[in-house]
Amino acid sequence: MKASTNTFLIATALALASSTILLKAQDGGDAPPPDAPPPAQGERMGGPGAGHRPPPPLESALDANGDGVIDADEIANASAALKKLDKNGDGKLTPDEYKPQRPGSGSDQNEPRGPRPNREGGAQHEPESGGGDTQPMQGAGAPPPEPPASRETEPQSHSGDEHRTKSHPDSAQKYSIEQAVSDNAQLHTIAFSGLAFLTGDFGASTFMPPGKVCDFFGFQYMRDIDAAGKGHNPMFLNRVAGNVMHVLNDAQKQKFIDLANEQAPQLEQLAHMRLPLIKSFHRQLDGQIPVGSSGLNEAAVVRYTGELFAKDAELSLRRAEVMGQVFRSLTADQKAYLGQMKFGDFNTWPALDERDLLKAIGRGKSQLFNVAFMTYASEFFSWTAGSLKADTYFCPERHGTYFGGFYMKDMPAMGKRNFDISTSRTGDSGRALLEEVMTEPQRKLITGILPKQHKPIMETIEVRRSIAQELRKFLVGQTPDPKKVLSLGRHYGELDGEMSWLYATAFAKANRTLTTDQRASLMKLRNLDGYKSADAYLYSHPISKPEIPNTDFLFQPVTK
């Protein structure tokens, strides 16, 4: 009888969950239908007329991680979830049992979590009237930007656009690791990187948003699933960071200030470590390889990126330690304030402008100090309000970041206060490269990468999850194993190096066969007339030509 009751409950769960999600999509919830426009600013917040309702208790019970999607793992646990609602144990949900729950109820997935957003909503806030700034590209040959900002933020991008619709290409959608590693997302992202590499230069290839390093804190996921569709707008980071700065006390903010002072030079070192690798890739592209060498040495590339990511893991470990200290020092009032801000919904965040405060904190400091401080403030919320799932997530363009794709996509947003980067840019351009410009033999060079990278990219998921699990121990006062984190980080880099070597060598082979007409078509696809890259970039900040050590060590040994 017990087994049959569980079966009945699970079947009921599947049926009701499907109808619940459908109804939620129809009334403006977190999962809009594919043809729905993005919600307007100010929608879905609490207060009269805001149109935001608490989720039904069945959905709350099944949706253990609170992301609005009932996945396979949560279905597998449906029996236990439904038993919590089935008070009288008869295998049926009565009207009394199926009633609204208190905000914050439900499973915590047995993982350290921060303050959960108040699903009932908070006070209604005014729509955004201003916007965050990006660092103007001074001296980089870009068109004149808007007035310079007091700090740098990064334009964000994402390439999983095959899930976007033609009628609303930039509407907010749900993303997942499964989508990120799918053949379509990977193929078009790789092709987009190839387009950037074949049409760009060394300077453009060094450009990378600072949020793409030490990215184990859920920020990428939070912006990619943003219900307001603002995750790809510079104001997104500014608003979340502004709210965190508003609620933290002086002692808590000082921890972030001290950490930024400590890590700014280390972040600069990490950026410079990328340069020899990028230089060697361009040497391969241009045929400027050492005499007697057959080209890039895969093992050497893998070792080098391993050290690069080990440094990334070291910085991430320290960042998590400090953010964990700040989290454990939050007062009840601070937790309540942050709890009103919903993870993944920009519209529930108060429209605060803390630029004067942030400008005062960064006065006289380096550009990387400001970047680091803003990053800590924004990731503090995404990490503490998020989950292991959010920390593990990565977008398709997270790996092989040495080919100029970020420059080609993000440069039009630099210096703008309010600019939504099109999420269809990567897929459309990558698809056009393959289908409209390349010949069949050239296409096979790119498509042939997919089966070769399947193993490393799937292993990447497990490595990221293991790193994130260790780092989240700081939230509950535990101490991760530093050796384990650094070892995982090094292996993560080795996987990145393996995939990047595949990209670099395939792009170089394609480059040798391009015709003059094809190159002209590629420049049209690049679509950056009037832009000229700097000599190099310290993440997204232009710098003068840096000194780069001899890169012969990244090539096959020269034969005697």
Q: Is residue 292 part of a domain?
A: yes
Q: Mapping DSSP to helix (H, G, I), strand (E, B) and coil, where does residue 388 land?
A: helix
Domain boundary among 68, 85, 102: 85
Residues 324 and 434 in one domain: yes
Six-digit token pair at 542? Answer: 């232009």
Q: Do 80 and 179 share a structural domain?
A: no
Hey, what amino acid is at 298?
A: E
Angle at 184 between CA 180 and CA 185, to 5 degrees: 30
299 plus 438 within the same structural domain: yes
Point out the domain boundary residue: 21, 56, 85. 85
Phi, psi of 538 (to 5 degrees): -90, 90
Is the same domain home to 45 and 185?
A: no
- Judgement on whether residues 72 and 187 belong to the same structural domain of the protein: no
Q: Are residues 325 and 449 in the same domain?
A: yes
Separation in Å, CA 240 to CA 264, 371, 378: 21, 14, 6
Task: Tell whether pTM > 0.75.
Answer: no
Q: Please say whether the beta carbons of 65 and 110 come within 8 A.
A: no
- Structural domain includes residue 284: yes
The dihedral over CA atoms of 432, 437, 439, 440, expressed in degrees to the nearest 10, equals 10
Residue 400 lies in a domain: yes
* Stretch (H or E) spanning 543: strand 541-543
Residue 132 lies in a domain: no
8 A C-beta contact, residue 111 and residue 387: yes
Q: Which two tokens stand for residue 111?
A: 């993982």
The neighbouring-strand residues paired with 531 are none
Whether residue 331 is found in the same domain as residue 213: yes
How many structural domains compose the chain? 2
Q: How far apart are CA 20 and CA 39, in angstroms?
A: 19
Examine the domain organization and report whether 315 and 429 are in the same domain: yes
Same domain, 348 and 469: yes
Q: Do the domain assignments include residue 199?
A: yes
Long-range contact pairs involving 536-539 (C-beta distance under 8 Å, separation at least 24): 536/202, 536/203, 536/206, 536/275, 537/203, 537/206, 537/207, 537/208, 537/407, 538/268, 538/271, 538/367, 538/368, 539/154, 539/207, 539/208, 539/209, 539/210, 539/267, 539/271, 539/368, 539/371
Taking CB atoms within 8 Å and a gap of at least 24, the contacts of 481-487 are 482/317, 485/313, 485/314, 485/316, 485/317, 486/310, 486/313, 486/314, 486/317
Show which of 54, 85, 116 is a domain's final residue: 85
| DSSP type of residue 536 | E
> What is the span of the domain harbouring residue 55?
2-85
pLDDT in tens, 203-261: 999 999 888 999 999 999 999 999 998 887 878 988 999 999 999 999 999 999 999 99
Together in a domain, 318 and 459: yes
pLDDT (tens place) for every residue of the chain, 560 residues total: 444 444 444 444 444 444 333 333 333 333 333 333 333 322 222 222 333 333 444 444 555 555 444 554 554 455 555 555 556 665 555 545 544 333 333 333 334 444 433 322 222 222 222 222 333 232 333 333 332 233 333 333 333 333 332 323 333 446 788 988 999 889 999 999 999 999 999 999 999 988 899 999 999 999 999 999 888 787 898 899 999 999 999 999 999 999 999 999 999 999 999 999 999 999 999 999 999 899 999 999 999 999 999 999 999 999 999 999 999 999 999 999 999 999 999 999 999 877 778 888 888 899 999 999 999 999 999 999 999 999 999 988 889 999 999 999 888 767 666 666 656 778 889 999 999 999 999 999 999 999 999 999 999 999 999 999 999 999 999 999 999 999 999 999 999 999 999 999 999 999 999 999 999 999 999 999 989 999 999 999 999 999 999 999 999 886 55
Q: Helices marked H in 329-448 — which ranges?
A: 332-339, 355-362, 367-384, 388-392, 405-410, 425-432, 440-447
DSSP 235-277: HHHHHHHHHHHHHS-HHHHHHHHHHHHHHHHHHHHHHHHHHHH
Q: What are the tokens at 451? A: 């089966």
CA 323 – CA 380 distance, rounded (Å): 6
Q: 91 in a domain, yes or no? A: no
Q: Closest Cα to residue 383, out of 462, 471, 310? A: 471
Q: Is residue 490 part of a domain?
A: yes
Rounded to a whole number of angstroms, the distance between the first and last alpha carbons of the chain is 79
Is there a single domain that holds both residue 356 and residue 490?
A: yes
CB atoms within 10 A of CB 286: 11
CB atoms under 10 Å from CB of 38, counted, come to: 18
* Domain assignment present for 139: no
Paired residues of 537 in beta bridges: 542
Residues 81 and 180 in one domain: no
Distances (CA, A) of 256 to 140, 358, 365, 552: 31, 12, 14, 40
What's the rounded Cα separation, in Å, for the pair 132 and 70?
Answer: 34
